Structure 1
Amino acid sequence: MNATLPNGKRVRQSSGTESREEAEALLAKLKLEAFREHHFGIKRPRTWQEAVVRYLEVKASLRSIRDVRQICRGLHPYLGDLTLDQINGDVIWSIVQGELKKGNLPATVNRYLATLRSLLRMARDEWQWIDSIPKVRMLGGEVERDRWLTREEADRLIRFCPDHLAAVVRFALATGCRAREILGLEWIRVDLPRKTAWINQTKNGTPRGVPLNRDAATVLREQIGKHSQFCFTYRGEPIKRNVSNHAWFTALSKAGLEDFRFHDLRHTWASWHRQSGTSCDELKDLGGWKTRSMVDRYAKFATEHLAAAASRIESAAKDGVIELSRFSHGAAK
């Protein structure tokens, strides 16, 4: 096909068929869509598959791109034959019901819905492929993970870790840094005299400074001389693979810890901070969270500000309690 469409765009491409009649029909369809879009503002219908291709290109630099691809594949049975303007509340309902019937938890279904919502918003706001999108509401009942270690459990875990892994665990508990942030930490980004490190490989892509307390500084000093570039190594080489490997699971088993992930060390760090009186605003800055809502989950660990209120009805304070009269509302005799 070689033609100029009514909207001024040039089409030079294969029709994908050897039939002249079919090629002419396809060209006529493209001209009609371009005419309606140019003169009446009617957008050409875009398919879900077109949107997924562009969405994955936009998100290609994400660390979690593999998970995004997997979710898009999971959505394909529901949306693969649809255009974006055909995705409505009924279609979203079918996705929810279909995934729940598979036995997936609300948290899993919500990841599907969040990806769908993100793609639709991008198609509307950035690509301008559609004018409106349906409301995508997340499911309730998602259980928030609340797994953290006591000091004794943490010490036991460290004791059963090999030296290179113990250093990473200790640093995580001292700073709250994520595994990828720790393994990518370079000496050029560490200033031990000022007790500061600068993390450039963060989850949200925003570099941040990390204050090094005494425990964190001690761990780093122990690593000096092991590698010229990276702080944490194994047998003289940077640790490139996932920390959650055989050594990690072996240490968990020997320490008697179940249902514990490496990322839960960050939850442990945050929980310890709140128990020690660190405010939510301070914790937000320490952990590099962008929003306060991500930190409020740890508010339950700090009750110092309620201690005075709780003590008002202690047994020793009963003299200060005002006894109220009890009135009977029965009929007068």
Structure 2
Amino acid sequence: MSGRKPKPPRLHLRERDGRSSIWVVLDRGREVSTGCSEEDARGAEDRFKEYLAGKHVSTVGTRDFTQLSVADVLTFYASAKRPSEGAAEKTIRRYNEMVAFTETLNEWWGAKFVSDIRGETCRHYVDWRTSQPLRRAKSAAALKKRVSTATARRELEVLRAAVNLYHAEFTLPSVPKITLPEKSVPRDRWLTRSEVAVLLWACLGWRRDASTGRWSKIQTEGIRKQTRTRRAHISRFILLGLYTGTRHEAIERLQWHANVDGGWIEIERGLIYRRGTGERETKKRRPPARIPHRLLPHLERWLQIDLANQTADGKPIRHVIHTSTGEGLSTPIRTGWEGIRSDAGLGDDVVPHVLRHTCVTWQLQAGVLPWEVAGAVGMTVEQIENGYGHHSPDYQKASASAFSRGGKA
């Protein structure tokens, strides 16, 4: 016997004399037709998944990583991390995001064994993922975009966590190393005051031509009014992010009163609490902060508007950022943001997180001390100095003036 390990089941396009090609499943010398033509690759993938599900025998519990299926490791991980009944909305949302990652990982890794995990296969996975279009893309321009390396890295981190959890439970003889792609260079993108202005104008139902700088109303007056209503929550989002530097996920969960799932705003004391009473502190720090004076009148006005209205089912409006029906956001603000960014004539580098960069940059440019900025936005002084220090008017000032003191070089 050669001792060669048999190949896992796989799809193969079988050419046929005088007839069109057809997708088949090859499995240890056996050939099973999917009934799908060459053009129906998606249907062939579905038949392949059904075939695997029909013949699959769970390998969970084995310590032999040459026989341990990656698909079973991911399933074990998803089952172990399932939230308990009554878990916080944030916990459920993060779990669903993780499950989506495992489903994507399964598309490429599912038919492989844990022993197949090595640097080469990890790099091939990154190449495969970054060649795929964005699944949430809707516009023609967005359809041309591809999955980022950062997304592929995040998915491989989930794979690493799944393997480590399995090892902690069943003790593998050795744990394969998941090779991650390098982290992308942090953005040094921040908004000018004129760019913030055009974003807010777009929230009001105006569109700017990036080439001429001219503004026009979005279609008819009726549509413009509807657009303003739909985008009112994004103008709140922009001002909160700009003046407080709060991360966009935390802004989306802000409420008017104390709660366990997210932060809240206490206008009477002039404070914003970024973390719910039932949430633990993480590496992404969310300390309380003083509400800036320019933001306070906006918050007072928004509160009066929300107190005078109700949700669609007659309940009080709880969330600071909410839909036109008064309900909290069920999905991230990303889609609405992209529409406003397009109408404002700004580039793809203007993402929601740029508001946090802008908040820090503007404070440093105004001469605020790094330790005060760090405390206000929830960063360390080292992060401020290393990532934003060059925006301070005093940046390397002493060093630059050292040669003007009459000393000899």
Pairwise TM-score range, normalised by the shorter structure: 0.5 to 0.7
1:143 & 1:81 partners in 2: Cα distance? Answer: 33
1:197-244 Cα offsets, whole Å, 9 max, x none, are 223359x85364232111232221111232343334455613425434
Alignment partner of 1:157 out of 184, 199, 221: 199
1:45-56 aligned within 5 A = 46-56=68-78
Query: How much has 1:53 moved relative to structure 2?
Result: 1.3
1:169-180 aligned within 5 A = 169-180=238-249
- In structure 2, the residue matched to 1:223 is 302
Contact map agreement 1:172 1:178 (CA 8 A) in 2:
yes
User: Is residue 68 from structure 1 mapped to residue 79 from structure 2 by the alignment?
Assistant: no
Q: Please, which runs of 5 or more residues in structure 1 have no aligned partner?
A: 1-29, 324-333
More helix by share: 1
1:123 & 1:299 partners in 2: Cα distance? Answer: 43
2:357 alignment partner, SS class = helix
Query: How much has 1:320 moved relative to structure 2?
Result: 2.7
Alignment partner of 1:92 out of 115, 122, 139: 122
Which AA in structure 1 matches 2:366?
A: S
Contact map agreement 1:174 1:213 (CA 8 A) in 2:
yes
Name the CA shift for 1:157/1:101 in 2 (closer, same or farther; >3 Å).
Answer: closer
Which AA in structure 2 matches 1:72?
A: T
Identity %: 21
Alignment partner of 1:257 out of 318, 342, 346: 346
Which AA in structure 1 matches 2:197?
A: D
Contact map agreement 1:148 1:264 (CA 8 A) in 2:
yes
Contact map agreement 1:43 1:129 (CA 8 A) in 2:
no
1:171-210 aligned within 5 A = 171-189=240-258, 190-200=265-275, 206=281, 208-210=287-289
Q: Please, which runs of 5 or more residues in structure 2 have no aligned partner?
A: 1-58, 84-90, 133-145, 205-231, 259-264, 308-315
1:290 & 1:51 partners in 2: Cα distance? Answer: 37
2:397 & 2:320 partners in 1: Cα distance? Answer: 43
Name the CA shift for 1:214/1:50 in 2 (closer, same or farther; >3 Å).
Answer: same
Query: How much has 1:253 moved relative to structure 2?
Result: 3.6
Name the CA shift for 1:271/1:120 in 2 (closer, same or farther; >3 Å).
Answer: farther
Alignment partner of 1:287 out of 362, 377, 398: 377
2:253 & 2:106 partners in 1: Cα distance? Answer: 35
2:182 & 2:354 partners in 1: Cα distance? Answer: 23
2:188 alignment partner, SS class = coil
Which AA in structure 1 matches 2:235?
A: A
Query: How much has 1:54 moved relative to structure 2?
Result: 2.5
1:170 & 1:320 partners in 2: Cα distance? Answer: 48
Cα RMSD after superposing both structures: 3.8
Query: How much has 1:266 moved relative to structure 2?
Result: 1.8
Query: How much has 1:322 moved relative to structure 2?
Result: 2.9
- In structure 2, the residue matched to 1:122 is 165
Which AA in structure 2 matches 1:135?
A: K
1:130 & 1:278 partners in 2: Cα distance? Answer: 52
Q: Which has the higher Rg, Structure 1 or Structure 2?
A: 1
1:7-46 aligned within 5 A = 46=68
Contact map agreement 1:232 1:239 (CA 8 A) in 2:
yes
Query: How much has 1:174 moved relative to structure 2?
Result: 0.9
2:334 & 2:94 partners in 1: Cα distance? Answer: 16
Name the CA shift for 1:108/1:219 in 2 (closer, same or farther; >3 Å).
Answer: same
Query: How much has 1:175 moved relative to structure 2?
Result: 0.9
Alignment partner of 2:358 out of 268, 271, 277: 268
2:161 & 2:149 partners in 1: Cα distance? Answer: 18
Query: How much has 1:282 moved relative to structure 2?
Result: 4.2
Contact map agreement 1:147 1:264 (CA 8 A) in 2:
yes
1:59 & 1:280 partners in 2: Cα distance? Answer: 41
- In structure 2, the residue matched to 1:80 is 110
- In structure 1, the residue matched to 2:135 is none
2:106 & 2:325 partners in 1: Cα distance? Answer: 45
1:139-161 Cα offsets, whole Å, 9 max, x none, are 23723333220122212322332
- In structure 1, the residue matched to 2:190 is 148
Name the CA shift for 1:275/1:294 in 2 (closer, same or farther; >3 Å).
Answer: closer
1:258 alignment partner, SS class = coil
* TM-score normalised by length of structure 2: 0.56
- Count of residue pairs the alignment pairs up: 279
- In structure 2, the residue matched to 1:330 is none
* TM-score normalised by length of structure 1: 0.67
1:7-32 Cα offsets, whole Å, 9 max, x none, are xxxxxxxxxxxxxxxxxxxxxxx9xx
2:121 & 2:252 partners in 1: Cα distance? Answer: 42
1:287 & 1:53 partners in 2: Cα distance? Answer: 38
